[in-house]
């Protein structure tokens, strides 16, 4: 019995746009030009301190990995240098913050 085998061809790389740059070129330039995304975390810890904005728990430097940066407006690309869109939350409060929205969405759809 013969099997039909599909041939998978290699995906073609994106064509260069009118400006002469491929998508890969543009992504590479953006990565080189911008600061690393994790940079805002260190800035937030420096600005707001090693304390959870929700529960008030204070952390020592060695335990700062338990603090996360929450973007108040939900936009991870909105990183003003004054830290106005950030709040440091411990991992537990950060999880709670995001699951509350999901729970609210779920409960809101049950009534409909």
Show me where the domains of the chain are located: 23-110
Q: Quick one: pLDDT at residue 3?
A: 55
Considering the chain, what percentage of its residues have pLDDT values greater than 70? 67
Which residue in the block uniquely carries the two structure tokens 């009118």?
A: 18
Give the dihedral of Cα atoms 11, 17, 20, 23; nearest 10 deg.
Answer: -50
Contact 59, 51 (CB under 8 A): yes
How far apart (Å, rounded) are the C-alpha atoms in residues 69 and 87?
A: 6
Copy the structure tokens of residue 13.
């790389």
66 pLDDT above the threshold of 90: yes
pLDDT of residue 98: 81
Question: What are residue 21's phi and psi, to 5 degrees?
Answer: -110, 135
Average pLDDT over every residue of 22-51: 79
**Domain covering 23-110, topology:** 3.40.1800
So what's the pLDDT on residue 38?
56
Q: Strands, E, within 25-108: which ranges?
A: 67-71, 86-90
pLDDT band at 67 (very low <50, low <70, confident <90, very high): very high
Q: How many helices (H) and strands (E) does the chain have?
A: 3, 2
Does residue 64 register a pLDDT over 60?
A: yes
CA-to-CA separations, 68 to 17, 33, 54, 90, 107, in angstroms, rounded:
39, 25, 12, 6, 27
pTM of the model: 0.59
């Amino acid at each position: 019995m013969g099997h039909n085998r599909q041939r998978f061809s290699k995906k073609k790389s994106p064509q260069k746009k009118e400006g002469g740059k491929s998508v890969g070129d543009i992504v590479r330039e953006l990565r080189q030009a911008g600061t690393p995304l994790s940079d805002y975390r260190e800035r937030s810890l420096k600005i707001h301190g090693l304390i959870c904005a929700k529960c008030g728990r204070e952390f020592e430097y060695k335990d700062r990995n338990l603090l996360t940066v929450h973007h108040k407006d939900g936009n991870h690309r909105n990183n003003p240098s004054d830290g106005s869109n950030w709040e440091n939350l411990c991992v537990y409060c950060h999880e709670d913050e995001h699951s509350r929205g999901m729970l609210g969405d779920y409960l809101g759809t049950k009534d409909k």
